[in-house]
Amino acid sequence: MILVWIENSGGQALSVSWETIGVARSLAGDAPVAAAVFGPDAAAIGEQAIARGADQAFVCDHETFTAYRVDPHASLLAELAQAHEVTTVMAGATTRGTDVLGALSVDLDAGLITDAVEASTEGDSLVAKRPVFSGKLVATVTSPAAPHLLTIRGRAFPQPEPDESRSGEVTAVDPALSEDEIPVKETGFEAASGEISLADAAIIVSGGRGVGGPEGFEPIRELAAVLGGAVGASRATVDAGWIPYEHQVGQTGKVVSPDLYIAAGISGAVQHQAGMRTSKVIVAINKDPDAPIFKLAHYGIVGDLFDYVPALSEAFKKRLT
Protein backbone atom coordinates (compact mmCIF):
# COMPACT_ATOMS: atom_id res chain seq x y z
CA MET A 1 0.00 0.00 0.00
CA ILE A 2 1.10 3.56 -0.74
CA LEU A 3 -0.07 6.04 1.86
CA VAL A 4 -0.51 9.67 0.77
CA TRP A 5 -0.72 12.39 3.43
CA ILE A 6 -3.32 14.87 2.24
CA GLU A 7 -2.37 18.33 3.46
CA ASN A 8 -5.42 20.47 4.09
CA SER A 9 -6.38 23.76 5.62
CA GLY A 10 -9.75 25.48 5.91
CA GLY A 11 -11.52 22.27 4.86
CA GLN A 12 -9.67 22.16 1.53
CA ALA A 13 -6.86 19.94 0.31
CA LEU A 14 -3.83 21.57 -1.28
CA SER A 15 -3.51 20.99 -5.01
CA VAL A 16 -0.08 19.42 -4.46
CA SER A 17 -1.83 16.67 -2.49
CA TRP A 18 -3.89 15.72 -5.55
CA GLU A 19 -0.72 15.81 -7.66
CA THR A 20 0.83 13.45 -5.11
CA ILE A 21 -2.08 11.01 -5.48
CA GLY A 22 -1.45 11.03 -9.22
CA VAL A 23 2.21 10.12 -8.68
CA ALA A 24 1.30 7.47 -6.08
CA ARG A 25 -1.12 5.91 -8.60
CA SER A 26 1.66 5.64 -11.19
CA LEU A 27 4.09 4.09 -8.66
CA ALA A 28 1.63 1.71 -7.02
CA GLY A 29 1.13 -0.83 -9.80
CA ASP A 30 -1.49 -3.26 -8.48
CA ALA A 31 -1.07 -2.13 -4.88
CA PRO A 32 -3.71 0.13 -3.32
CA VAL A 33 -3.28 3.85 -2.78
CA ALA A 34 -4.70 5.12 0.50
CA ALA A 35 -5.22 8.76 1.43
CA ALA A 36 -4.53 9.85 5.03
CA VAL A 37 -6.60 12.92 5.88
CA PHE A 38 -6.37 14.47 9.33
CA GLY A 39 -8.21 17.62 10.35
CA PRO A 40 -11.57 19.35 10.04
CA ASP A 41 -13.80 17.91 7.27
CA ALA A 42 -11.45 14.93 6.93
CA ALA A 43 -14.20 12.58 5.71
CA ALA A 44 -15.32 14.91 2.92
CA ILE A 45 -11.72 15.47 1.83
CA GLY A 46 -11.20 11.68 1.98
CA GLU A 47 -14.08 11.25 -0.51
CA GLN A 48 -12.46 13.82 -2.78
CA ALA A 49 -9.15 11.95 -2.54
CA ILE A 50 -10.90 8.80 -3.77
CA ALA A 51 -12.39 10.76 -6.69
CA ARG A 52 -8.85 11.92 -7.50
CA GLY A 53 -7.52 8.35 -7.64
CA ALA A 54 -7.11 6.94 -4.13
CA ASP A 55 -8.62 3.50 -3.47
CA GLN A 56 -9.45 4.20 0.15
CA ALA A 57 -9.01 6.84 2.83
CA PHE A 58 -8.11 6.87 6.52
CA VAL A 59 -9.64 9.94 8.12
CA CYS A 60 -9.36 11.53 11.56
CA ASP A 61 -11.33 14.65 12.39
CA HIS A 62 -9.93 15.14 15.89
CA GLU A 63 -9.41 18.55 17.52
CA THR A 64 -5.67 17.89 17.91
CA PHE A 65 -5.42 18.41 14.13
CA THR A 66 -7.27 21.74 14.00
CA ALA A 67 -4.09 23.76 14.45
CA TYR A 68 -1.14 22.27 12.60
CA ARG A 69 1.58 20.64 14.72
CA VAL A 70 3.96 18.05 13.33
CA ASP A 71 3.73 15.46 16.12
CA PRO A 72 0.10 14.25 15.87
CA HIS A 73 0.38 13.88 12.08
CA ALA A 74 3.69 11.97 12.17
CA SER A 75 2.60 9.67 14.99
CA LEU A 76 -0.69 8.71 13.36
CA LEU A 77 1.00 8.16 9.99
CA ALA A 78 3.52 5.90 11.74
CA GLU A 79 0.70 3.84 13.27
CA LEU A 80 -1.05 3.50 9.90
CA ALA A 81 2.20 2.63 8.11
CA GLN A 82 2.96 -0.11 10.63
CA ALA A 83 -0.58 -1.52 10.59
CA HIS A 84 -1.07 -1.77 6.82
CA GLU A 85 2.06 -3.10 5.07
CA VAL A 86 2.82 0.33 3.67
CA THR A 87 5.77 0.39 1.25
CA THR A 88 5.78 4.13 0.60
CA VAL A 89 4.47 7.23 2.34
CA MET A 90 4.17 10.38 0.23
CA ALA A 91 3.32 14.05 0.74
CA GLY A 92 3.71 17.39 -1.02
CA ALA A 93 7.11 19.06 -0.57
CA THR A 94 5.64 21.95 1.41
CA THR A 95 6.90 23.22 4.76
CA ARG A 96 4.40 20.95 6.50
CA GLY A 97 4.96 17.95 4.22
CA THR A 98 8.72 18.13 4.82
CA ASP A 99 8.11 18.36 8.58
CA VAL A 100 5.69 15.45 8.77
CA LEU A 101 7.66 13.03 6.61
CA GLY A 102 10.90 14.12 8.27
CA ALA A 103 9.51 13.18 11.68
CA LEU A 104 8.08 9.97 10.25
CA SER A 105 11.52 9.02 8.88
CA VAL A 106 12.75 8.83 12.48
CA ASP A 107 9.79 6.73 13.67
CA LEU A 108 10.17 4.26 10.79
CA ASP A 109 14.00 4.60 10.57
CA ALA A 110 13.41 5.06 6.86
CA GLY A 111 15.10 7.05 4.12
CA LEU A 112 13.49 10.26 2.96
CA ILE A 113 13.62 11.71 -0.55
CA THR A 114 12.42 15.31 -0.61
CA ASP A 115 11.19 17.58 -3.39
CA ALA A 116 11.03 15.04 -6.22
CA VAL A 117 10.30 16.21 -9.75
CA GLU A 118 10.40 12.69 -11.22
CA ALA A 119 9.75 9.34 -9.55
CA SER A 120 9.70 5.69 -10.60
CA THR A 121 10.17 2.22 -9.18
CA GLU A 122 12.91 -0.27 -10.09
CA GLY A 123 12.17 -3.59 -8.41
CA ASP A 124 11.94 -2.84 -4.70
CA SER A 125 13.77 0.47 -5.12
CA LEU A 126 12.21 3.88 -5.37
CA VAL A 127 14.16 6.17 -7.69
CA ALA A 128 13.51 9.90 -7.85
CA LYS A 129 15.08 12.99 -9.37
CA ARG A 130 15.30 16.18 -7.39
CA PRO A 131 16.96 19.55 -7.86
CA VAL A 132 19.97 20.11 -5.57
CA PHE A 133 22.46 22.95 -5.15
CA SER A 134 19.42 25.21 -5.47
CA GLY A 135 18.53 23.94 -8.92
CA LYS A 136 22.03 24.15 -10.34
CA LEU A 137 22.19 20.32 -10.46
CA VAL A 138 19.73 17.44 -10.54
CA ALA A 139 20.37 14.41 -8.33
CA THR A 140 18.99 10.96 -8.89
CA VAL A 141 18.21 9.58 -5.45
CA THR A 142 17.63 5.89 -4.81
CA SER A 143 15.92 4.38 -1.82
CA PRO A 144 16.84 0.68 -2.09
CA ALA A 145 14.48 -0.79 0.50
CA ALA A 146 10.99 -0.10 1.79
CA PRO A 147 9.63 1.79 3.58
CA HIS A 148 10.27 4.69 1.23
CA LEU A 149 9.34 8.26 2.10
CA LEU A 150 8.90 10.75 -0.72
CA THR A 151 7.83 14.37 -0.99
CA ILE A 152 6.70 15.77 -4.33
CA ARG A 153 7.44 19.28 -5.61
CA GLY A 154 4.28 21.24 -6.29
CA ARG A 155 3.32 21.81 -9.95
CA ALA A 156 5.96 19.33 -11.16
CA PHE A 157 3.35 16.62 -11.90
CA PRO A 158 -0.12 16.79 -13.45
CA GLN A 159 -3.14 16.98 -11.20
CA PRO A 160 -5.61 14.10 -11.75
CA GLU A 161 -9.13 15.31 -12.55
CA PRO A 162 -11.83 14.20 -10.09
CA ASP A 163 -13.87 11.19 -11.21
CA GLU A 164 -17.02 11.14 -9.08
CA SER A 165 -17.89 7.62 -10.23
CA ARG A 166 -14.94 6.19 -8.28
CA SER A 167 -15.79 4.69 -4.91
CA GLY A 168 -13.77 3.44 -1.98
CA GLU A 169 -13.90 2.86 1.73
CA VAL A 170 -13.49 5.83 4.09
CA THR A 171 -12.30 4.56 7.48
CA ALA A 172 -12.36 6.76 10.57
CA VAL A 173 -9.29 6.23 12.75
CA ASP A 174 -8.42 7.40 16.27
CA PRO A 175 -5.61 9.89 16.86
CA ALA A 176 -2.29 8.43 18.03
CA LEU A 177 -1.64 11.26 20.47
CA SER A 178 -3.90 13.03 22.95
CA GLU A 179 -3.58 16.80 23.41
CA ASP A 180 -1.59 16.17 26.62
CA GLU A 181 1.04 14.32 24.58
CA ILE A 182 1.61 17.22 22.15
CA PRO A 183 4.11 19.71 23.61
CA VAL A 184 3.64 22.48 21.02
CA LYS A 185 0.59 24.75 21.42
CA GLU A 186 -0.71 27.24 18.86
CA THR A 187 -1.46 30.62 20.42
CA GLY A 188 -2.27 32.58 17.27
CA PHE A 189 -2.39 32.60 13.49
CA GLU A 190 -2.05 35.63 11.23
CA ALA A 191 -3.35 34.80 7.77
CA ALA A 192 -1.37 36.28 4.90
CA SER A 193 -3.06 39.32 3.42
CA GLY A 194 -5.16 37.54 0.79
CA GLU A 195 -2.25 37.61 -1.65
CA ILE A 196 -1.56 34.51 -3.69
CA SER A 197 1.48 32.72 -2.27
CA LEU A 198 4.50 32.11 -4.48
CA ALA A 199 4.38 28.35 -3.99
CA ASP A 200 0.85 28.00 -5.39
CA ALA A 201 1.04 30.60 -8.15
CA ALA A 202 0.74 29.61 -11.80
CA ILE A 203 1.92 33.10 -12.74
CA ILE A 204 4.56 35.17 -10.95
CA VAL A 205 5.52 38.74 -11.73
CA SER A 206 8.81 39.67 -10.05
CA GLY A 207 10.61 42.94 -9.54
CA GLY A 208 14.32 43.51 -9.09
CA ARG A 209 16.68 46.37 -8.39
CA GLY A 210 15.23 48.14 -11.45
CA VAL A 211 12.03 48.99 -9.55
CA GLY A 212 14.11 51.58 -7.67
CA GLY A 213 12.21 51.59 -4.36
CA PRO A 214 9.21 50.22 -2.48
CA GLU A 215 6.73 52.21 -4.60
CA GLY A 216 8.32 50.74 -7.73
CA PHE A 217 6.53 47.47 -6.97
CA GLU A 218 3.16 49.12 -7.72
CA PRO A 219 3.15 48.36 -11.47
CA ILE A 220 4.44 44.84 -10.66
CA ARG A 221 1.52 44.30 -8.24
CA GLU A 222 -0.95 45.65 -10.76
CA LEU A 223 0.23 43.27 -13.51
CA ALA A 224 0.18 40.35 -11.06
CA ALA A 225 -3.39 41.29 -10.07
CA VAL A 226 -4.51 41.49 -13.73
CA LEU A 227 -3.01 38.04 -14.39
CA GLY A 228 -4.22 36.52 -11.12
CA GLY A 229 -0.62 35.86 -10.16
CA ALA A 230 1.73 36.36 -7.24
CA VAL A 231 4.37 39.02 -6.67
CA GLY A 232 7.99 37.92 -6.52
CA ALA A 233 11.16 39.85 -5.79
CA SER A 234 14.92 39.58 -6.10
CA ARG A 235 17.17 39.37 -3.08
CA ALA A 236 18.46 42.92 -3.61
CA THR A 237 14.97 44.40 -3.18
CA VAL A 238 14.28 42.34 -0.06
CA ASP A 239 17.64 43.24 1.48
CA ALA A 240 16.91 46.91 0.72
CA GLY A 241 13.66 46.58 2.67
CA TRP A 242 11.46 47.42 -0.34
CA ILE A 243 9.30 44.29 0.03
CA PRO A 244 8.96 41.57 2.72
CA TYR A 245 11.07 38.44 2.64
CA GLU A 246 8.19 36.08 1.83
CA HIS A 247 8.29 37.47 -1.74
CA GLN A 248 11.93 36.57 -2.33
CA VAL A 249 12.62 34.17 -5.21
CA GLY A 250 16.03 32.54 -5.40
CA GLN A 251 18.61 30.47 -3.66
CA THR A 252 17.98 31.97 -0.22
CA GLY A 253 14.31 32.63 -0.95
CA LYS A 254 11.64 30.46 -2.52
CA VAL A 255 12.24 28.10 -5.41
CA VAL A 256 9.29 28.42 -7.77
CA SER A 257 8.15 26.73 -10.93
CA PRO A 258 5.18 28.63 -12.37
CA ASP A 259 3.77 28.38 -15.89
CA LEU A 260 4.76 32.01 -16.50
CA TYR A 261 7.51 34.01 -14.78
CA ILE A 262 7.85 37.68 -15.67
CA ALA A 263 11.12 39.19 -14.43
CA ALA A 264 11.04 42.98 -14.50
CA GLY A 265 14.18 44.94 -13.69
CA ILE A 266 15.95 41.75 -12.61
CA SER A 267 19.42 41.19 -14.03
CA GLY A 268 19.32 37.47 -13.27
CA ALA A 269 22.15 36.64 -10.90
CA VAL A 270 22.90 32.93 -10.68
CA GLN A 271 21.28 32.85 -7.20
CA HIS A 272 18.04 34.27 -8.62
CA GLN A 273 18.09 31.88 -11.58
CA ALA A 274 18.37 28.99 -9.13
CA GLY A 275 14.95 29.95 -7.80
CA MET A 276 13.02 30.25 -11.08
CA ARG A 277 14.82 28.51 -13.92
CA THR A 278 12.32 25.64 -14.12
CA SER A 279 9.44 28.03 -14.92
CA LYS A 280 7.68 26.98 -18.13
CA VAL A 281 7.78 30.35 -19.87
CA ILE A 282 10.10 33.14 -18.74
CA VAL A 283 9.75 36.77 -19.82
CA ALA A 284 12.46 39.32 -19.10
CA ILE A 285 12.02 43.08 -19.16
CA ASN A 286 15.27 44.92 -18.55
CA LYS A 287 17.01 48.10 -19.70
CA ASP A 288 20.34 46.29 -20.02
CA PRO A 289 20.44 44.13 -23.17
CA ASP A 290 23.40 42.20 -21.70
CA ALA A 291 21.58 41.21 -18.50
CA PRO A 292 22.05 37.46 -17.90
CA ILE A 293 18.29 37.01 -17.49
CA PHE A 294 17.92 37.26 -21.30
CA LYS A 295 19.94 34.04 -21.65
CA LEU A 296 17.33 32.21 -19.61
CA ALA A 297 14.23 33.98 -20.90
CA HIS A 298 12.00 32.79 -23.72
CA TYR A 299 10.77 36.31 -24.49
CA GLY A 300 12.53 39.56 -23.79
CA ILE A 301 11.91 43.28 -23.99
CA VAL A 302 14.86 45.63 -23.73
CA GLY A 303 13.42 48.72 -22.11
CA ASP A 304 12.18 50.47 -19.01
CA LEU A 305 9.89 48.37 -16.86
CA PHE A 306 7.95 51.49 -15.88
CA ASP A 307 6.91 51.81 -19.56
CA TYR A 308 6.39 48.18 -20.45
CA VAL A 309 4.87 46.66 -17.31
CA PRO A 310 1.88 49.08 -17.20
CA ALA A 311 1.47 48.63 -20.98
CA LEU A 312 1.35 44.84 -20.46
CA SER A 313 -1.29 45.28 -17.75
CA GLU A 314 -3.43 47.25 -20.22
CA ALA A 315 -2.86 44.70 -22.99
CA PHE A 316 -3.94 41.80 -20.75
CA LYS A 317 -6.93 43.68 -19.34
CA LYS A 318 -8.27 43.84 -22.90
CA ARG A 319 -7.72 40.14 -23.44
CA LEU A 320 -8.91 38.82 -20.12
CA THR A 321 -12.17 40.74 -19.64
Partner 1 sequence: MRVIVCTKETPDTAAAVDVVEGKATWGDAPLVINPWDEYTVQEGINLKEQGASTVTVLALGGEDTREAIKHALAMGCDDAALIADEAFAQVDSLTVAKGLAGGVRQFDDVGLVITGKMTTDANGGALPVQLGRLLGWPTVTYVAKIQSFDVDGKSITVERLVEGGRQIVTAPLPAVISVVKEINEPGYPSFMGIRKAARAQYPTWSAADLGLDADLSAKVDWTNLEKPPVKAGDAEIISAGSVQEAAEQLADKLMEEKVI
Within 230-259, the residues that bind partner 1 by CB under 8 A are 244-246, 248, 251-253, 255, 259
**95, 120, 167, 178: residue in contact with partner 1 (rule CB under 8 A):** 95
Question: Which is nearer to partner 1, 129 or 166 (by Cβ)?
Answer: 129
Burial of 122 (0-12, 13-18, 19+ CB in 10 A): exposed
The window from 58-66, 95-103, 156-164, 172-180 that contacts partner 1 (CB under 8 A) reads 95-103
Question: Which is nearer to partner 1, 44 or 260 (by Cβ)?
Answer: 260
Q: How far apart are CA 163 and CA 52, in angstroms?
A: 6
260-264 and 299-302 strand pairing: unpaired
Shortest Å distance, C-beta 160 to partner 1: 20
Q: Residues 69, 129, 198, CA angle at the centre, nearest 5°?
A: 50
Distances (CA, A) of 120 to 4, 13, 86, 153, 238: 16, 24, 17, 15, 38
Q: Residues 162, 167, 172, CA angle at the centre, nearest 5°?
A: 105
Q: How many CA atoms lie within 13 A of 13 on its CB side?
A: 30
**30, 180, 188, 321: residue in contact with partner 1 (rule CB under 8 A):** 188
Shortest Å distance, C-beta 163 to partner 1: 24
Does residue number 272 form part of the binding site for partner 1 (CB under 8 A)?
A: no
Task: With beta carbons less than 8 A apart as the criterion, state whether 176 and 115 touch.
Answer: no
The window from 41-49, 173-181, 214-222, 311-319 that contacts partner 1 (CB under 8 A) reads 311-319
Write out the binding residues for partner 1, residues 205-234 only, by CB under 8 A. 227
Task: With beta carbons less than 8 A apart as the criterion, state whether 296 and 277 touch.
Answer: yes
137-143 and 125-132 strand pairing: antiparallel
Question: Which is nearer to partner 1, 83 or 106 (by Cβ)?
Answer: 106
Write out the binding residues for partner 1, residues 4-63 only, by CB under 8 A. 9, 14
Question: Which is nearer to partner 1, 32 or 111 (by Cβ)?
Answer: 111
Q: How far is CA 279 from its chain centroid?
A: 14
**83, 138, 167, 169: residue in contact with partner 1 (rule CB under 8 A):** 138
Shortest Å distance, C-beta 11 to partner 1: 13
Question: Which is nearer to partner 1, 83 or 281 (by Cβ)?
Answer: 281
Does residue number 131 form part of the binding site for partner 1 (CB under 8 A)?
A: yes
CA-based radius of gyration for the chain: 21
Work out the number of other CB atoms within 10 angstroms of the CB of residue 167.
Answer: 11
Question: Which is nearer to partner 1, 143 or 234 (by Cβ)?
Answer: 143
Q: How far apart are CA 29 and CA 31, in angstroms?
A: 6
**199, 231, 236, 276: residue in contact with partner 1 (rule CB under 8 A):** 199
Question: Which is nearer to partner 1, 95 or 167 (by Cβ)?
Answer: 95
Shortest Å distance, C-beta 184 to partner 1: 5
Question: Which is nearer to partner 1, 125 or 167 (by Cβ)?
Answer: 125
